[in-house]
Chain A
Amino acid sequence: AQSVTQLGSHVSVSEGALVLLRCNYSSSVPPYLFWYVQYPNQGLQLLLKYTSAATLVKGINGFEAEFKKSETSFHLTKPSAHMSDAAEYFCAVTLDTGRRALTFGSGTRLQVQP
Chain B
Amino acid sequence: EPEVTQTPSHQVTQMGQEVILRCVPISNHLYFYWYRQILGQKVEFLVSFYNNEISEKSEIFDDQFSVERPDGSNFTLKIRSTKLEDSAMYFCASTRDRGAFFGQGTRLTVV
Contacts and interface: CB of A to CB of B under 8 A. Distances in A.
Interface in B62-111: 91, 93, 95, 97-105
B12 interface: no
Contacts of B4: 43
B100 A46 contact: yes
Interface string A28-45: 000010101000001111
Q: Pick from B4, B41, B43, B45 the residue with the most CB of A within 10 Å.
A: B43
Interface in A16-73: 32, 34, 36, 42-46, 49, 51
B101 A46 contact: yes
Contacts of A103: 45
Nearest to B103: A43
B57 to A, nearest CB: 9
Nearest to B50: A99
Contact of B91 (A34, A43, A46, A106): A43
Contact of B102 (A44, A51, A100, A101): A44
A8 interface: no
A46 to B, nearest CB: 5
Contacts of B98: 32, 49, 51, 97-99
Contacts of B102: 36, 43-46
Contacts of A92: 43
A74 interface: no
Contacts of B6: 43
Q: Pick from A32, A44, A106 the residue with the most CB of B within 10 Å.
A: A44
Interface in B1-41: 4, 6, 31, 33, 35, 41
B58 interface: yes
A44 B104 CA distance: 7
A49 B91 contact: no
Interface of A: 32, 34, 36, 42-46, 49, 51, 90, 92, 97-107
Interface of B: 4, 6, 31, 33, 35, 41-45, 48, 50, 56, 58, 91, 93, 95, 97-105
